[in-house]
Structure 1
């Protein structure tokens, strides 16, 4: 991530803000170790898990936005963060998997993109509040908690006048009673409808719809054909 963050803006402990040239993202991780280990395992099973292309909804929904400070939540192997950086955004990219972040940093170096990488869970990252003109969460695996910590963290990160863009696979939040894919339970995760329910008078919903997904070639998740897209602007 390249941004205008000053020392005063950062949380007291910045160990999770990692130099992308360091090569290791395990030390300084802030979050649930079990979640980190689970995702490290998933990434380690594949030479490349995702397509390497930016998500179509991100490209479409940022076309009319002036570049500013962006937060990419769950950046994976870095395709969205790199695309945003090359489009002129100052990008912070957040990810629980150190394996994914090492790949993302390498891809960014190859692309000549300047990104600050944060090895942390969203709720634990202690990001500067109300600091991002764009908070993008593309198909994030955010665990639900009784206090809606992840949902509130997404909203809190958006600056006045900024945009929250949350995209997920359509229909997944309706399968609360069944476990899929070897133990994955959609009821355990945050979906756009849950975030939309928290929006108050200080937000304006600009897009809240289901649409056909622009599916990149290759990568996991290509079998999902429709997206739910929530785009909301913080008014104050």
Structure 2
């Protein structure tokens, strides 16, 4: 789980680790600790094997996957987030099922192949070569395995457009950026939906999200 807003560019930016370490240090708990609902729903038909969680944040998705029987590699650029995630995994009793690794995905990527590669909200206000990262993620999917990409499709209803220059990719744009060979992959889920969010003051609002789930047929 990473920043919930998409990429923009700029000058004199901090490094990715500096940016995200700073974000996590702003609060003792940046995220809820619960798994993303999209992951729970879209992995229900999958047999647990080896999973890769890209942008794992404080570990909510990785811990949930481990509890379902997956052997998980979980990566994030923030050392602060990874320290919290590892602590939460120990508290949940699943530390032995999760390998936490620090990677700036723009420059390094976990080795190996995986039955599930999950990228939830891999979007950032600082520069991020997202298409290239997602192509590398697809290359890491084992035959018969699944790539799950979940994105915000627009600004939330309670914050409509603070950065009007920012573009949110559609599922078709994500699919085009992956450059998948049609004979080697099949699309299993491709949809736009409204996700209900309960704000701190108790109000319930919506945010549009995209889900793209593709399955690798052959090597």
> TM exceeds 0.5?
yes
Structure-1 residue corresponding to 2:151: 168
- Report the structure, 1 or 2, having the larger strand content: 2
Q: Does 1:118 align with 2:89?
A: no
Cα 1:96–1:233 change in 2 (3 A) is same
Q: 8 Å contact 1:141–1:190 — kept in the other structure? A: no
Query: 1:213: how far off?
Result: 2.0
Give the TM-score taking structure 2 as reference length: 0.77
What are the ranges of 5 or more consecutive residues in structure 1 without an aligned counterpart?
1-31, 173-177
**Which 4+ stretches in 1 moved above 4 angstroms?**
189-192, 214-218
Q: Among 178, 183, 188, which residue is 1:206 paired with?
A: 188
- Secondary structure of 2:15's match? helix
Residue 98 of structure 1 corresponds to 79
Aligned counterpart in structure 2 of residue 70 of structure 1, from 30, 51, 54: 51
Alignment-derived partner of residue 153 in structure 1: 136
| Cα pair 1:151 1:194 within 8 Å, conserved | no
- Return the alpha-carbon distance in structure 1 between the equivalents of residues 92 and 199 of structure 2: 20
- Aligned counterpart, 1:3: none
| SS of the residue 1:207 aligns to | strand
CA drift of 1:230 comes to: 0.3
What is the SS of the residue equivalent to 1:162? strand
Aligned residues: 191
Q: 1:132 aligns with which of 98, 110, 114?
A: 114
Superposed displacement of residue 169, structure 1: 1.1
How big is the alpha-carbon RMSD for the aligned residues of Structure 1 and Structure 2?
2.6
Shift of the 71–103 alpha-carbon distance from structure 1 to 2, 3 Å rule, reads: same
In structure 1, the residue corresponding to 2:30 is in which secondary structure?
A: coil
| Distance in 2 between residues matched to 1:164 and 1:135, nearest whole Å | 5
The gaps in structure 2 that reach 5 residues or longer are 1-12, 156-160
